[in-house]
Copies of this chain bind each other. A is one copy, B any other.
């Protein structure tokens, strides 16, 4: 019996138009990854479970898709364990592999396994899908692409500078103007927590601070209090809530606030170097701003923290982010390798580009010329013409049968073909063909012995 087919929730089919537009974004990103000296790698879709488990916290472990062992997988579960019927405990006995959850852990694994063949600093990019058993909702999928560029083996701040240039270059090339690159540094957050006497509560402090734009100053203070940060500490931190003015002004205020924290001052110095270098180099269209409330991924970032906001007026969260992590590969036995990286949020960039109509016109035109089919002999002549057009890189096709003309024209219309070729009995006798411009309706006759004239007109 025939099934009514469907696809798993949280996954998507991509239509030709969507694939073409997605590839347009990928191609721009890749091109600039390459001019910036990044090299592509690819890793397997599934990894050994022990490579992934325990790297993303308990919540992450739950959201990793596990692959069932092949064959008689239950045979390996001992009877005592089996009788517990405890899904959590039994999982590792019946599943040894799991789908990639992000590109960072597989990259760390790659660096460690390939360390002897790599030249450090190693700049890699990777554009591959990842899978998460998240509850599907608007804009959140169980399969989606990540698009990452990372450098490992260099703690130079020039890397941060280049990554900001890279963001700017990509978004400028996509004509996505007016994005804001927000910059922070974990050391500044740590320094603030230190000088206000809340060093132990760094994470709570920053998680609350991160919500400043959403819940306002009062809301943040309330949350801090509830997390056990003292009233006096919050008072000391209050300059943070009104850090306004130019980047330089903000950095100067932070300097004053952090005068007693070595780590904090180091963070300000790093930010200042990055800011000044970028100012000296100039950006094409992005705006770079200090944002001390930015606490993205604080669990593993140790230095710079980046986030890219879509142009004002577009309601969309961040369309990119990243940061520096001082010990990327330690989990796999290669300590003290500093890394810094950024990622591009493909799905959101796609939505922003659709909303702002930034995709080039006719990007998803799948056919430039359709030759109609008037029968066996005429069809063969049309196929010869089609073959010549294709050799010149023109997307050309011939209607596969001599169906009624209105059916063939309807097909041409549905596929938005700009030019239709008519090569009927009369044309074949005259060694000619007629080209109909489907937009204007104009028709023009060309000689079969001079197809170049038509090609040049396209």
Contacts and interface: CB of A to CB of B under 8 A. Distances in A.
A287 to B, nearest CB: 18
Nearest to A49: B8
A70 B20 CA distance: 33
Interface in A377-400: 379-380, 383-384, 387, 389-391, 393-398, 400
A197 interface: no
A440 interface: no
A396 B184 CA distance: 27
Contacts of A74: 85-87, 90
A133 interface: yes
Interface string A18-35: 011001000000011011
Residue among A156, A280, A330, A391 facing the most chain B CB atoms (10 A cut-off): A156
Main secondary structure of the interface of A (DSSP, over half): mixed
A400 B46 contact: no
Contacts of A11: 44-46
A133 B70 contact: yes
10 contacts: A19-B41, A35-B393, A45-B99, A68-B91, A71-B87, A74-B90, A158-B383, A162-B398, A169-B390, A169-B391
A235 to B, nearest CB: 39
Contacts of A383: 158, 161-162, 277, 281
Report how many copies the assembly holds: 2
A114 interface: yes
**Chain A residues touching B, range:** 35 or more
A364 to B, nearest CB: 9
Given A87-B74, A331-B2, A129 B280 contact: no
Given A13-B41, A45-B131, A380-B277, A3 B333 contact: yes
Contacts of A384: 280-281
Contact of A397 (B37, B40, B48, B114): B37
Interface string A104-119: 0000011011100101
Contacts of A143: 44-46
A221 interface: no
Contacts of A367: 37
A6 B161 contact: no
Given A15-B41, A91-B68, A411-B119, A390 B35 contact: yes
